[in-house]
């Protein structure tokens, strides 16, 4: 028995807790709902299992309730070709760089009412609140970076992802405050929707040892049938459920759990009892992402599910390709019935009787088929897979040798058109996550005090996305401006009239284009520097003009002097009387 468990007496282990009738009814209701969720999700689980075998083998055998994997179990037996796995990792990198890049603030907060946003204190509040969000989100203890990357991979492989956000448990870290992020494995996540198609709750299935259960909920909540496992310090995991759903008896005037819109219940499957008193959340702690949804379905479908036939075909083709390559490198030999006995394939070996008296070979190689045809067929399937994972879109600029600014803008605009409908819906996931983060940080008093005008507006806000994807979706504006300028420039060249460029306000357009193309603000000159540059340029032009007119002015002054002398009766220079 471990040192921690040794402090628990046998008398304590022998005292079981008897659930009340109300608790038993709650547990039965949750188990019944979970049973239905499990049945309705099984068809998806079967497809997720197929996708996992081909591109995400670490997730194999995790999608059905009750499945178990021994630690270190091998899972790559069915994987022959790695194209899908590589495309999945690149898809996750694309999502991360386009939606949540860690090197920039990819969203901002602002008041939902433009009049409220005119207040300087309100603008400063939202600027500070945004910085606080990014500070705690990217804190090393939050786990956001790694968990978010796991979610992008889950989205690409299975079309679903869920981020659980809760306050950081800092009891062992000097009472540190903040948020903690956990990407829930898809096999543990059972979703529910309301009548408007919004995710309004979930049930999570997970395993803990008896010792871990005591750590989380205390000894007094441990079911009687798990106490022998605790006493033996068993490392076997037992089944638990975490159910979060809208509360039927919600009362906004109360300050206990019933004053929160979402109820929270931890259930032990083995003991069929609640592991903690009824709790609650002011905001849904799970931010769900779904890549593409079919009608009347709660769960999404991802890129891998869309090209699952191509993944299977490529895997089969790769198997054939390997056989062909093996036979080409180590060929099968054909000999006659009375052919050579003991034929040696050793380098430098001599095989008497290998040719007949006429010099014709008595041993032939079995044809392996056209390996080039198989390779071309594999390339076709690879292209389909890479297109589905958006990989091919990001080769447009790299494949070109020389591009003008207009061509780059056009390519960025095309990327925005193509990836916007797919990645653009992930703002639903990010929006729910930001709402939850603000709730968690505000509960701990980590947000700045709200200014009076925003208090009058009840703190209503909206999220403005500034990620590369948001900029890419605005690239159409920059592309249209560049096309119009090119047209006007051609007309001005033809007519030799620069007035055709007058309708364009470059002072407004160029900073906006720089923002769309991701130029850092610190690289741009402010208005004072721009005015200074223009003044210096005007002075330089004026000085240059003066230098250019000086010879003419000197000649004119000389002519005036000659004329003045002539008027006074004096002979002009060079005139002989």
d(CA 141, CA 170): 10
In the prediction, which pLDDT does 15 show?
A: 62
- Spatial contact of 126 and 109, defined as CB atoms under 8 Å apart: yes
Helix (H, G, I), strand (E, B) or coil at 366: coil
CA distances from 238 to 66, 202, 222, 234, 505 (A): 10, 20, 12, 10, 68
* Dihedral sign of CA atoms 93, 98, 104, 110 in order: negative
In the prediction, which pLDDT does 461 show?
A: 92
In the prediction, which pLDDT does 134 show?
A: 96
- Spatial contact of 193 and 200, defined as CB atoms under 8 Å apart: yes
d(CA 159, CA 299): 8
- Spatial contact of 286 and 162, defined as CB atoms under 8 Å apart: yes
> Torsions phi, psi of 36, nearest 5?
-70, -40
In the prediction, which pLDDT does 3 show?
A: 47
pLDDT tens digit at each of 577 positions of the chain: 444 454 554 445 556 678 888 899 999 999 999 999 999 999 999 999 999 999 999 999 999 999 999 888 888 888 899 999 999 999 999 889 888 998 888 999 999 898 998 888 999 999 999 999 999 999 999 999 999 999 999 999 999 999 999 999 888 888 999 999 999 999 999 999 999 888 999 999 999 999 999 999 999 999 999 999 999 999 999 999 999 999 988 888 888 888 999 999 999 999 899 999 999 999 999 999 999 889 999 999 999 999 999 999 999 999 888 888 888 887 887 777 766 667 777 777 877 777 887 788 878 887 877 888 888 999 999 999 998 898 877 665 455 555 565 565 556 656 655 666 666 677 789 999 999 999 999 999 999 999 999 999 998 999 988 888 887 767 777 878 888 998 999 999 999 998 888 899 888 888 888 877 767 666 778 778 888 888 888 888 888 877 877 777 777 777 777 777 776 655 555 545 4
**DSSP track, 7-39:** TS-HHHHT-PPPPPHHHHHHHHHHHHHHHHHHH
- Spatial contact of 65 and 37, defined as CB atoms under 8 Å apart: no
Between CA 354 and CA 359, with CA 356 as vertex, the angle to 5 degrees is: 95
Contacts of 554 (CB under 8 A, 6+ apart): none
DSSP state of 106: -
> Torsions phi, psi of 221, nearest 5?
-95, -5
- What residue has token string 């021994």? 70
Give the CA-trace dihedral at 327, 329, 332, 336, to 10 degrees. 150
d(CA 150, CA 144): 10
In the prediction, which pLDDT does 132 show?
A: 96
The residues facing 208 across adjacent strands are 238
- What residue has token string 């590369």? 468
Q: Which helix (H) or strand (E) holds 371?
A: helix 371-388
In the prediction, which pLDDT does 466 show?
A: 85
């Amino acid at each position: 028995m471990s040192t921690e468990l040794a402090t628990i007496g046998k008398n304590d282990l022998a005292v079981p807790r008897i659930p009340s009738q109300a608790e038993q009814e709650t547990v039965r209701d949750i188990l019944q709902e979970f049973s239905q969720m499990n049945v309705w999700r099984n068809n998806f689980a079967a497809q997720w299992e197929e996708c996992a075998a081909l591109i995400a083998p670490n997730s194999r055998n995790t999608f059905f309730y009750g499945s178990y994997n021994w630690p270190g179990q091998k899972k790559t037996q069915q994987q022959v070709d790695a194209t899908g796995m590589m495309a999945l990792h690149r898809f996750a990198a694309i999502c991360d760089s386009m939606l949540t890049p860690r090197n920039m603030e990819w969203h901002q907060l602002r008041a939902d009412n433009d009049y409220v946003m005119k207040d300087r204190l309100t603008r400063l509040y939202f600027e500070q609140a945004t910085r606080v969000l990014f500070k705690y989100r990217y804190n090393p203890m939050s786990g956001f970076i790694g968990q978010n990357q796991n979610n992008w991979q889950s989205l690409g492989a299975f079309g679903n992802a869920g981020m659980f956000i809760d306050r950081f448990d800092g009891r062992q870290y000097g009472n540190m405050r903040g948020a903690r992020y956990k990407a829930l494995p898809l096999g543990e996540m059972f979703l529910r929707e309301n009548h408007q198609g919004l995710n309004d709750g979930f049930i999570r299935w997970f395993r803990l040892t008896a010792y871990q259960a005591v750590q989380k909920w205390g000894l007094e909540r441990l079911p009687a049938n798990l106490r022998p496992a605790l006493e033996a310090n068993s490392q076997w995991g037992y089944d638990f459920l975490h159910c979060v759903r809208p509360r039927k008896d919600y009362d906004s005037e109360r300050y206990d759990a019933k004053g929160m819109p979402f109820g929270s219940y931890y259930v032990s499957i083995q003991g069929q009892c609640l592991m903690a008193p009824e709790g609650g959340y002011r905001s849904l702690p799970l931010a769900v992402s779904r890549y593409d949804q079919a009608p009347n379905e709660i769960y999404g479908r991802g890129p891998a599910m869309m090209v699952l036939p191509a993944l299977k075909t490529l895997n089969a083709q790769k198997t054939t390709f390997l056989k062909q390559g093996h036979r080409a490198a180590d060929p099968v030999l054909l000999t006659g019935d009375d052919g050579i006995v003991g034929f040696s394939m050793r380098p430098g070996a001599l095989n008497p009787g290998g040719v007949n008296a006429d010099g014709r070979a008595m041993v032939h190689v079995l044809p392996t088929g056209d390996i080039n045809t198989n390779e071309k067929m594999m390339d076709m399937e690879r292209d389909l897979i890479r297109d589905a994972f958006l990989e091919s879109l990001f080769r447009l600029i790299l494949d070109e040798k020389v591009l003008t600014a207009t061509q780059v803008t056009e390519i960025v605009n095309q990327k925005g058109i193509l990836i916007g409908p797919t990645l653009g819906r992930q703002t639903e996931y990010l929006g729910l996550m930001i709402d939850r983060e603000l709730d968690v940080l505000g509960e701990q008093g980590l947000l700045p005090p709200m200014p009076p005008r925003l208090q009058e507006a009840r703190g209503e806000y909206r999220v403005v996305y500034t990620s590369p994807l948001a900029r890419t979706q605005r690239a159409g504006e920059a592309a249209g401006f560049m096309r119009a300028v090119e047209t006007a420039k051609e007309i001005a060249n033809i007519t030799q009239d620069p007035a055709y460029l007058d309708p364009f306000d470059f002072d407004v357009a160029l900073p906006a284009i720089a923002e769309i193309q991701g130029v850092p603000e610190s690289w741009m000159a402010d208005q004072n520097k721009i005015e200074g540059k223009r003044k210096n340029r005007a002075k330089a032009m004026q000085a240059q003009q003066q230098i250019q007119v000086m010879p003419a002015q000197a000649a004119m002054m000389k002519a005036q002097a000659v004329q003045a002398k002539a008027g006074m009766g004096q002979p002009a220079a060079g005139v002989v009387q």
